[in-house]
Structure 1
Amino acid sequence: MAAEGVEKTSEDASSSGKVCTRFDLEKETELRFEVEAGEAADQVEMELLTGMAEVFGSELNRNKKYTFGPGSKIAVFTWQGCSVNLYGKPEVAYVSKDTPMLLYLNTHAALEQMRKQAERENERGPRVMVVGPADVGKSTVCRLLLSYAVRVGRRPTLVELDVGQSGVSVPGTVSALCIERPADVEEGFSVQAPLVYHFGSTTPGTNIKLYNKLTSCLAEVFSQRCEVNRKASVGGCIINTCGWVKGSGYQALVHCASTFQVDVVLVLDHERLYNELKRDLPHFVRVVLLPKSGGVV
């Protein structure tokens, strides 16, 4: 949907040296903007003026300018309505009412109920695997669910199995990271003392046996940590996977679900994959089909 309530303020533009565009967002809408890619591209700044808003689960501070570099794709969501300024010239910027954020929030709420039950019954918290083809926003959904969990006092673990674009270490690795605070709006999660295994390629198919072995190693270390750390056990984990969902890639997903003893699988925007996992995973694993968002990356 096209942007509504957009106005340009030359006064702000002159003070910052950049063109300023104001967006007035209604409740449960999302401002999506992309920064042009390339070394010569300019940064874009964003400032929350009124109301409350968040970026992928991380709350924005009012009257603070956030800077996003070339290639950034950002979605500013508000539950109650807000006003936002953009400084600079994004490649595209628009407001959308078509957003799955309510579904993502409901998913978080369901996971939180599982954590509360784990606390009461002295069991382990939910282990969640996020799957789907490339470019449907798996990393963003992981970030959002992790940030929401931390905001209610949990200590979940991010398991990063996407060797093509690791959010924890360098590409070509698999890793695990205990999350203790919401992701920084600009920089993402604080990467302190992660567990990282070197795979050596950005494509799992280069050596699928090694990839599955490293997945098993991460699962073993995570389970050992849960045995001695109650908060980590209750917090559970969110597993980000590769976009390879056919053939050996699909078998790697099934292997991951088995070795991590996954309770919940979130399938983004791929009905066939959803049905295949429903067929092949144990009946106690909850497989949920979720839509992707136009604002996720």
Structure 2
Amino acid sequence: TELAQLPTATGAVLARYFNTEPLAHVVPRYVHEYVHTQLRGYGASVLGQALHEGTCDFMTELVTGQAGPFAYLAYGRRHEAALKERFKTEMFIPIFLSRPAEQTPADLHHAADLGYYLGYAVCKAYYAQAVNKRQAVRDLLTLDYADDRAVAELLEKSQYYPDEPVRQLRAAFDNRPPDATRVRPFALAPQPLDPALTELTVDFPQPVSPYATVRPGPGGPETWPGVGALRFSNDNKSVTFAVGLRPAREYEFIVAEGGSRSLLDYPNKSYLLKFSTRSLSE
């Protein structure tokens, strides 16, 4: 099939791949894939999956004695400082919320799989600081990549971020402010609402991709406001929720993390919407 006959994005993905001359680098590709068969678990977070792939690249380098011929490794070395800084803000994102379209841009010069490079860099740093190199290899091959605590401990030991403990990086991620700027008809600290209200609208500071999920808050079904159909504004800077309210009730629900995303594909932080309704006598 001619690439020109394929959808633009698909053709671009394959063109980038063929431009790497894959048949000229069969051995490192086979070693990389073989190492996958020896590893435990896929990453549950961006960090875990980056290490899962990075271990394969680092082991390939140890086995072949050469740096891998993959485009993301060359790109990563040239741009490591910027990628390393960005990785701090993304490594704790659950993998199922991470950039699903990383491979798909139609730009023939798009650099994909940069998480592989960062995982490789962390693994290499871990190996470099280890006194017992054989044990370091064993650690990488036996790590449970689905265990967020275990992968965080390995990152800590690697000293890849020598001046920033992992707990500090995690705290910065967890404490980032909510992405919503306003919830209409009330602010984020609302007063009792008219129970006749049928809609709530969440405003964002920048356009978000048109997806959203909601789930019950800590109070469970008793405090669920019967959230129904969702609709986004034409400029994608707000989402409106249909609600069914009753008088003199406490309500709450969560706009779930990753349910709405900026157009940069970064999942917005989850936040709890909590409010009450007036009694009929008010």
Same fold (TM over 0.5): no
> Looking at both structures, which has the greater relative contact order when contacts are Cα pairs under 8 Å and sequence separation is at least 6?
1
Highest Rg: 1 or 2? 2
